[in-house]
Amino acid sequence: MNSPPSLQLQSVAQAFGQQGWHCETVEGREVLEAHFEAHHTHIHLHAQAFPELNALSIVAECPLAPEPTHLAPAAELLMRANKQLTLGSFELDFDRQQLVFRITNLFDRERFDADIVSSMVHCAIAELDRIVPLLGTLLNTPADLLADLSLPLLLEREDLLPPVPGESETRPLEGGWEEEL
């Protein structure tokens, strides 16, 4: 017989419920599963509570199976993206062919703050959704042109970013001029 979910996991489930997010408990584990449709990809998300530490780890993932010719540049792009992050990090799970974003927080109480839990989920989804089109550009680059692709410049591209909720999708550039591509 399985023990009931911890107070920590129950507070995560309540935070999800407050946001209207559907989640399911993973049998026998301190884990919730959820699925989200982001702007660029479908995201499978796990929220794992560690009651003995009062910690929560959010893991968001989507499929990624680069060709061998593109594997090193894809890993480099993720490493460069990680250098820019303050919270969380990207990983490549080679065995399962998944792109992963992981963020963890330690809480000072048994009941996790719903705003922090929601922020962690939003962060994980936004970061994964931000990197997917950049990786798509890289993976669609012919192998013989990969050496010409500037990964630092690719990371600076804003035209591939998903729109920020509540903002108009087109933002005029400074001075009112539109950039020609």
Closest by CA position to 59, among listed 12, 95, 103, 28: 103
Judge if pTM exceeds 0.85.
yes
Task: Express each pLDDT in 2-35 by its tens digit.
Answer: 778 999 999 999 999 999 999 999 999 999 999 9
Residue whose token pair is 């490549």 = 92
Please report, for the chain, the start and end positions of each structural domain, with discontinuous segments joined by +. 7-161
- Domain 7-161 sits in CATH at 3.30.1460.10
User: 148 to each of 15, 30, 152, 175, how far by Cα in Å?
Assistant: 45, 46, 12, 32
Task: Express each pLDDT in 32-88 by its tens digit.
Answer: 999 999 999 999 999 999 999 999 999 999 999 999 999 999 999 999 999 999 999
